[in-house]
Amino acid sequence: MSASSSTAQSIIRPDKDIVLDEHNPFESMMSRFDYAAELLSLDPGLYRVLRHPDKQIIVSVPVLRDNGEVEVFTGYRVLYNSSRGPAKGGIRFDLAVTLDEVKALAAWMTWKCALVNIPFGGAKGGVVCDPSTLSNGELERLTRRYTAQIIETLGPDSDVPAPDVNTNERVMAWIMDTYSMHKRHTVTAVVTGKPIEMGGSRGRRQATGRGCMIVARESLKKVGIPVQGARVAIQGFGNVGSVAAELLHELGCRVIAVSDKTGALYRPEGLEIPDVLNWIQNHRFLSGYPKAEAVTNEELLTLDTDVLLPAALENVITSRNAADIRARIIVEGANGPTTANADKILDEKGVFVVPDILANAGGVTVSYFEWVQDRGGYFWDLPTVNSRLEKIMVDSFREVVTMAERHKVNLRIAAYMLSIERVAVVHRLRGLYA
Ligand code: NAD
């Protein structure tokens, strides 16, 4: 180890002795950050700055229920770093939302935007709720009140939300409207992932899944597995998973398994994805689909497959099941599906893991395109959006692979090194405002 890295190591991670919780998403992210920072010999002051979120907001969100009662929900918005531009990051509505999770996701967004080299910092938000128990009216009131509670941070130049788990175009339209009512004029660029009719970008809804398809295709080529007929198993059949399934199927891959929270479907010869999508349209969930074997989500993860694409929630590949993973390639559609302890096991097994900050960056990339189009007031056609996305994803994939080979590290650490260095450069150039 060089002198500079041992100096960095002695300063980095003052709390290293604390027993880390493998499932704590912030710790999980930070353990990778620490390692990459050490390899970069990041100066200790900058290390300390980048280890802390810029701003953490906790709000109470009172909502009038349809039965006349008032319920109070808790909402968060974390701006992790905005040195490279406005903070960018989705909003999720979920019972599992915690401040630690939102912090981790906000940090991830910082590294992700830097990795694909778009001029954004990182943010994330969430409201602790179960949207499936809320009526449309209740969901609208919740969204508008949450928006009003965090309105000081929002803005096209400061903080730009997007959809995430359990939020969609409809929710983004309410946020945009609430913000615009406060500003007394229409501000389309305050959120991305909006309906196309009100300033959304063509291709945004499919962008994350499309990005996953692109990196899965590039990974297969890199590893030397023919794309045609390659077996793919996908966990999660929402925005990311279902689009990735559709595009990989169109590409000629064999999507052998898909799942949602009701369970998984398995068909070794390959599922007829258009038929599964049709089923979902009519039945909402995968369970009950007749032309495949029903397996559990746990079983899906350990299937014999070429590509495993977790696209549901975090912490699904852990030290408990990593040794049983049989996939040659993992493409992380979800944020944080693999814990740091699992990484070590997968490394030993030689699994080619495309990390979340690269694999699911297609969404934020087209969000960036949407923000650019809104600000310019000039909208692009779908082939333009898709070809620009293709270029950014392929270039970023190659940069990460090159970095990994140069430093003899896995793709995750290489991705962190690239992005941390990009954020660090801007911090050094800007200096510290006293
Ligand atoms: P979504 O709500 O549209 O879909 C989530 C899917 O996961 C659903 O099919 C749901 O049934 C399934 N699911 C939920 N709990 C599950 C469980 N315990 N086991 C198996 N499946 C389960 O969400 P999404 O937008 O597709 O996001 C999925 C992941 O991708 C999240 O980690 C999110 O942060 C990440 N992501 C999303 C985007 C985006 O543009 N939507 C961008 C980047 C990253």
CA distance 84 to 118: 8
Name the residue at shortest CA distance from atom 3 of ligand 1: 238
> Residue 287 — φ and ψ, nearest 5°?
-60, 135
pLDDT digits (tens, 9 = 90+) for 383-395: 999 999 999 999 9
| Mean pLDDT confidence for 324-344 | 94
CA distance 76 to 353: 30
Distance from residue 35's CA to the centre of ligand 1 (Å): 28
Q: Which of 88, 103, 112, 124 is catalytic?
A: 124
Distance from residue 237's CA to the centre of ligand 1 (Å): 7
Q: What is the pLDDT of residue 31?
A: 84
Task: Please give the number of the atom of ligand 1 that sits closest to the Cα of 92.
Answer: 34
Query: Mutation test of ligand 1: which of 239, 277, 284 has the most ligand atoms closer than 8 Å to its C-beta?
Result: 239
Query: Mutation test of ligand 1: which of 247, 260, 281, 365 has the most ligand atoms closer than 8 Å to its C-beta?
Result: 260
280 pLDDT above the threshold of 70: yes
Task: Please give the number of the atom of ligand 1 that sits closest to the Cα of 240.
Answer: 26
Distance from residue 67's CA to the centre of ligand 1 (Å): 30
Pairing between β-strand 329-331 and β-strand 293-295 as defined by DSSP bridges: unpaired
13 pLDDT above the threshold of 60: no
pLDDT grade for 60, boundaries at 50, 70 and 90 = very high
Instruction: Tell whether pTM > 0.95.
Output: no
Distance from residue 9's CA to the centre of ligand 1 (Å): 36
124 noted as active-site residue: yes
Residues with CB under 6 A from ligand 1: 163-166, 208, 235-241, 259-261, 297, 311-313, 333-335, 360, 363
For helices 362-376 and 204-223, the axis angle rounded to 10 degrees is 140
Task: Please give the number of the atom of ligand 1 that sits closest to the Cα of 337.
Answer: 32
Q: What is the pLDDT of residue 6?
A: 39
Distance from residue 317's CA to the centre of ligand 1 (Å): 15
Beta-carbon neighbour count of residue 433 at 10 Å? 4
CA 86 to chain centre: 17
pLDDT grade for 22, boundaries at 50, 70 and 90 = low
pLDDT digits (tens, 9 = 90+) for 173-227: 999 999 999 999 999 999 999 999 999 999 999 999 999 999 999 999 999 999 9
pLDDT grade for 15, boundaries at 50, 70 and 90 = very low
Tokens of 251: 């590409």
Lowest mean pLDDT among 10-14, 164-168, 386-390, 393-397: 10-14
pLDDT grade for 14, boundaries at 50, 70 and 90 = very low
| Mean pLDDT confidence for 321-337 | 96
| Mean pLDDT confidence for 294-319 | 96
pLDDT grade for 11, boundaries at 50, 70 and 90 = very low
18 pLDDT above the threshold of 60: no
5 pLDDT above the threshold of 80: no
pLDDT grade for 17, boundaries at 50, 70 and 90 = very low
Name the residue at shortest CA distance from atom 19 of ligand 1: 261
241 pLDDT above the threshold of 80: yes
Q: What is the pLDDT of residue 104?
A: 86
Name the residue at shortest CA distance from atom 32 of ligand 1: 334
pLDDT digits (tens, 9 = 90+) for 82-104: 999 999 999 999 999 999 889 98
| Mean pLDDT confidence for 240-264 | 98
Task: Please give the number of the atom of ligand 1 that sits closest to the Cα of 364.
Answer: 42
- Burial pattern 190-206, b for ≥16 Cβ within 10 A else e, equals bbbbbeeeebbbbbbbb
Q: What is the pLDDT of residue 21?
A: 57
Distance from residue 374's CA to the centre of ligand 1 (Å): 27
**CA proximity to 92, closest of 51, 153, 146, 173:** 146
Torsion of CA 169, 172, 174, 176, to 10 degrees: -130
Name the residue at shortest CA distance from atom 2 of ligand 1: 165
pLDDT digits (tens, 9 = 90+) for 102-139: 998 899 899 999 999 999 999 999 999 999 999 999 99
| Mean pLDDT confidence for 46-68 | 97
Name the residue at shortest CA distance from atom 5 of ligand 1: 238
Average pLDDT over all residues of the chain: 93
Query: Mutation test of ligand 1: which of 28, 208, 212, 276 has the most ligand atoms closer than 8 Å to its C-beta?
Result: 208
165 pLDDT above the threshold of 60: yes
Instruction: Report DSSP state, residue 195.
Output: -
20 pLDDT above the threshold of 80: no
Q: Is the backbone of residue 153 left (phi > 0), alpha (psi -120 to 50) or beta?
A: alpha
CA distance 157 to 84: 11
Distance from residue 216's CA to the centre of ligand 1 (Å): 18
**CA proximity to 300, closest of 245, 345, 349:** 245
Task: Please give the number of the atom of ligand 1 that sits closest to the Cα of 264.
Answer: 20
Name the residue at shortest CA distance from atom 13 of ligand 1: 261
Distance from residue 49's CA to the centre of ligand 1 (Å): 31
Query: Mutation test of ligand 1: which of 210, 212, 237, 261 has the most ligand atoms closer than 8 Å to its C-beta?
Result: 261
Q: What percent of the chain has pLDDT over 90?
A: 88
Q: What is the pLDDT of residue 53?
A: 96
Q: What percent of the chain has pLDDT over 70?
A: 94
